[in-house]
Every structure is written in structure tokens, then in C-alpha cells.
Amino acid sequence: MNDVLTGASHHVPRMARTILVVEDETTLRETLIDALESEGFRVVGAADGRAALAEFRAEAPDLILLDVMLPELSGVEVCRIIRAESPVPIIMLTARDSEVDKVVGLELGADDYVTKPFSFRELTARIRAIFRRDERAVTVAAVAVNAAASAAAAEAAVPPPVEVGRVLVDLAGHRVTRDGKPVALKPRAFELLVFLLRHPGQVFTRDQLLEHVWGYEYGGETRTVDVHVHWLRAEIEPDAAAPAWLHTVRGVGYVFRRPD
């Protein structure tokens, strides 16, 4: 009779990931909560910025969906406060492109952006892509620990750092430095940089970059690519307004090219 209760001792079930949905529009919030629960996530909701901070601290969610326009504290303020405390992935829900520009301009450290109205399939694809990335990071860390055990073998496999002007990209160490000082790049921006470095001179469309770097199963929002290119340029380009390395190919996408 108690199989359901005792089952846990036979195999350890994977803990459901917790998602915090911060949205003041009741219908949208409840729809999102129901839909994400039916995808197998544990979901908690908050209807304003203050409640969002309280839930974040009480529930320690694995990911946060954060509306920008909120009563009490705005999503922008909430994002800033949470980012100062935690690297938890944050997807901002924005009402229009102009809001994305504002949010990007503030460099809040959100991981992704979705513009309303969005499809639920696209949203879950993005959520799963972020969780897969986290799992990969954990796997890479585990491999690094193993490699350290056989330091000689690891040493031989370490790729040399790549120079991009005054910027040095340490592929093995997942580090970027500029004039010897560490540059803080978000994980996805680093992956985008590494992907482009590995394919110099090759032009990629935004969709191709989404597929290769983000791993979206569906046509994601190409705006995300622009946002990350914007961040990369700010860090690696001597003059972000006149890029020397990471070029826009009008009407096509982006290409990484050495200035010579």
C-alpha cells in the first residue's frame, strides 16, 4: 500500500526544479504557473516586486521569470537586487522591444529576454536550454576535477589562450582578461565568443547562432543574439561603436574577423 511513499528508498527521484514566476497580470501569471507545473516544474508565483524578493529568499528558485513592469519594485530593480545576491538564471518578460533596449542598456545581468506576446513552447524551450547549460557546466566542472587528478594528461589537452587585441581568451579556464585584468562575461556570452573564435571569417545568421550556442529547438528570438553581441563588444572591442573584430553583416548576421 505504501509503495508510493517507500519508492523513494529504491531510487532517488530527480528533484523538480523550482521556477519563480513574477507577473502582476493575474491571468498571465496563473496561466504560466499551470503550464509550467504541467511540464513537471515546481512553480511559485509573485504579483509584485516586493513579493518577488520575499519568494526568492524563501524558495531559492532555480530560475526566475521576471516581468519588467511591476508594482512596488520594478522588474529592473528586482533583477538588480537579486543579481547582487545570486547567479540564479533570470528571464525578463518585456512588453515591447523598447523595453528590451532599456533593460539591455542597464546591463542588469539577466540571462535572456522574452517579448510579450510569446509562445509557451518558445518559453519552455528557453528554460530548458538554460537548465541544460547549467547541467553542462556541472559536467565540465566534474571533468575538470578528474583531469586535475592526472595533471600531465590535462596539461597536454589544454588549448592555448587566444589573443583578441588586448583581450586574452582562456578557453580552458573559461576566463577572459583585458590588459591582464579579468573581464566578467555571462556564461552564454562566453560561449558565443568561443563559438565565433572557432569559426573565424564565417558569417552566421542569428538563427544559426541561436541553434549552435543556445541550442534552441524552436526558432528563438533573434533579439537575444543582438543583446549578447552588444555585451561582447562592450568587453572585447576597443571601440564598441566601430567594431574591429565582431562585425555585423547587414541583412545576414555576424562574423568574427581579425582586423588584418
Residues of this chain that bind Ca ion (CB under 5 A) = 24, 67, 69
Q: Give the nearest residue (CB) to Ca ion.
A: 69
* Least separation in angstroms between CB 68 and Ca ion: 7
Distance separating alpha carbons of residues 107 and 186, to the nearest angstrom: 11
Burial 221-248 (b: 16+ CB within 10 A, else e): bebbbbbbbbbbbebbbeebeebbbbee
Which residue, 114 or 232, has its beta carbon nearer to Ca ion?
114
Residue 182 to residues 172, 187, 208: CA-CA distances in angstroms? 15, 14, 29
Give least dist CB 120 to Ca ion, A.
18
Give me the residues paired with residue 204 across strands. 254
Residue 127 CB neighbour total at 10 angstroms: 22
Question: Shortest approach of Ca ion to residue 23 CB, angstroms?
Answer: 6
Q: Which C-beta is closer to Ca ion: that of 67 or that of 191?
A: 67
Give the three-state DSSP class for 13. coil
Smallest distance, Å, CB 75 to Ca ion? 8
Q: How far is the CB of 101 from Ca ion (least distance, A)?
A: 17
Nearer to Ca ion, 29 or 133 (CB): 29
Give the integer Cα–Cα distance in Å for 218 and 123: 10
Q: Which is nearer to Ca ion, 123 or 209 (CB)?
A: 123
Residue whose CB is less far from Ca ion, 94 or 229: 94
